[in-house]
């Protein structure tokens, strides 16, 4: 059973850039209502799709990562494959849209 991994500046390279699986990174904030709505969706998605890694970056705790990827609003989702960003979306996404994002 997969779970959502907590990603920060210290483990970003190891968990995201060096991952052998595609990684869906959710840039979120604890004060963000839509981000809270996405959490159960991501939990379900991570359990249904163990061939992906699902991770979250708290933009307030890791502002350097938010800057690096030019996160202007939360939640923002970025898919990384072989260490490179391949797709991005902003806002509350249902599971089919998350799946479509992963397949881009």
Catalytic residues: 32, 35
DSSP 76-87: EEEEEETTEEEE
Torsion of CA 34, 39, 42, 46, to 10 degrees: 170
Torsion of CA 73, 79, 21, 99, to 10 degrees: 100
How far is the C-alpha of 48 from the C-alpha of 27, rounded, in Å?
Answer: 21
């Amino acid at each position: 059973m997969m779970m959502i991994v907590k990603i920060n500046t210290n483990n970003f390279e190891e968990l995201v850039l060096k991952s052998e699986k595609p990684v869906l990174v959710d840039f979120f904030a604890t004060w963000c209502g839509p981000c809270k709505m996405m959490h159960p969706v991501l939990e379900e998605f991570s359990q249904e799709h163990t061939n992906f890694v699902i991770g979250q970056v708290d933009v307030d705790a890791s502002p350097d990562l938010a800057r690096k990827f030019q996160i202007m609003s939360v939640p923002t989702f970025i898919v990384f494959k072989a260490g490179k960003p391949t797709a991005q979306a902003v806002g509350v996404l249902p599971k089919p849209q998350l799946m479509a994002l992963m397949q881009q």
